[in-house]
Amino acid sequence: MSDLNHDFVVIGAGPGGYVAAIHAAQEGLKVAIVEARALGGVCLQAGCIPTKTMLAGADAARMVRQAAAFGIKTGAENISYPAMVERQKKVIHQFTQGIQFLLEKNRVEIIMGRAFLKSGSEVEVYDSADQLLRTLANPGAILLATGSHAADLPMLKRDGVRILNSSDALNLTAIPQELIIVGGGYIGCEFASLFSTLGSRVTIIEAMDRLLPNMDRDLGSALKRTLAKSGVTILCNARIAGAESGERIQLMLADGQVVSGDQALVAVGRKPNLKNLGLENAGLKCSEKGIEVNDSFQTSAPHIYAIGDATGHLALAHVASAQGRRVVNHLIRSRRPGIAPPLKSLDYDRIPACVYTHPEIASVGLTEEAASQRGGAVRTGRFPFAALGKAAAAGETDGFIKLLADTQTGKLLGGHIFGPHATELIGQVALAMQWGIDIHQLAETVFAHPTLGEAIGEAAEALCGKPTHIIVRK
């Protein structure tokens, strides 16, 4: 069956693809979206939403343990891990149905199958038995939003039983007694926070000199202290020299240490999904990072766009969604000049990133190290959550907010938060950076009291050299 009348064909129904499809349909385009697995992509099916659902369960267990401090007597907690997993599946199912509903109501045609570029102007769709279902011929534009998959290690090949990836970890039927996590980035640290809270003895092995090596150094240092207090063993500057898998996993490190556990979770990043797409048939250029695109997300074939993890840019769901909106905006402007004003280009320095450990971590803008390397004088302002009434009332006093600014201009260069609800608070800092609010304007902003958000204003006051609720040594 061959179709000739689609304005826009989207390959991949993750947070980049389905958002682009909906916006294109709202602009009056005839849109088809092709998905090989399940609507929502990795984010909904095996990433953002399921991990946060499980972490919410861990937070509930933590609150039960701490209830006595609030004058509430409870019995000993009784964690049912299978029930936690079942709740996770219900949440995934609910939002999968929600995405389907939104696509259908916006008149986006949903095609379940594997997409393949037969050429730059033909998209073939195959079923799970590799039988050709449809051919989408001569669409006006094509968007590749094919996402990514968990990276492997040659000496720790996933078997789904002893050696796990992040998807496997979300579908365990029991809490591991001893879990080795290879990789101290955000994925590894979130799982360390989850399983250590649920009672696992966790060891993190990280090749770099600190946890969260891509974030501000102070964040990784604070997290290391907190995880260590909860019993997590953390080995940085550690490289794996060999591995043995049997009844237990044994990892031999380059310094002679041997680390053993019941299971090992490999969390060393993600790689773009580029295989079996027929990219070469369309003449698309790729690098090791992913599909090469310009600032408008056009590939080497101008009518074919690519976004999200497939391009190797920031592998974040909200980045893919923002890129998808800009693809549609570019497409509409090219078809209807003067109709749609151009969306502001993405400034990746102003996009927040979040880590859902306990306490939470969030960051936007430059790290202190990166700001210094770019030249110019940089100053920092910090404020501890321990000095906030709302944090004390909630029993969540661990952590801080750190803001960076250009000493000469007062321009806000970055914000880094370690503490309660950091992932919600970071939006306020991102908003200030997006619209050019300097530290003096931020310090003059009136924040409601008592709130956690007050810490942002207090950190800005510290940047201006006039903090109210802390004493800064001069």
3-state secondary structure of 197: helix
| Residues facing residue 197 across a β-bridge | none
Alpha helices in 150-300 (DSSP H): 166-170, 186-197, 217-229
- Cis amide leading into 450 (omega within 30): yes
Rounded distance, CA 126 to CA 132, Å?
4
179 token code pair? 């879990």
Rounded distance, CA 171 to CA 223, Å?
26
Contact 163, 245 (CB under 8 A): yes
Contacts for 28 with CB less than 8 Å, ≥ 6 apart: none
Mark whether 449 is an active-site residue.
yes
Contact 209, 179 (CB under 8 A): no
Contacts for 264 with CB less than 8 Å, ≥ 6 apart: 156, 162, 163, 164, 179, 180, 181, 182, 243, 249, 251
Amino acid letter, 287: S
Contacts for 358 with CB less than 8 Å, ≥ 6 apart: 55, 58, 59, 62, 193, 197, 226
DSSP 93-142: HHHHHHHHHHHHHTTPEEEESEEEEEETTEEEEE-TTS-EEEEEES-SEE
Selected catalytic residue, list 23, 330, 449, 469? 449
Residues known to be catalytic: 449
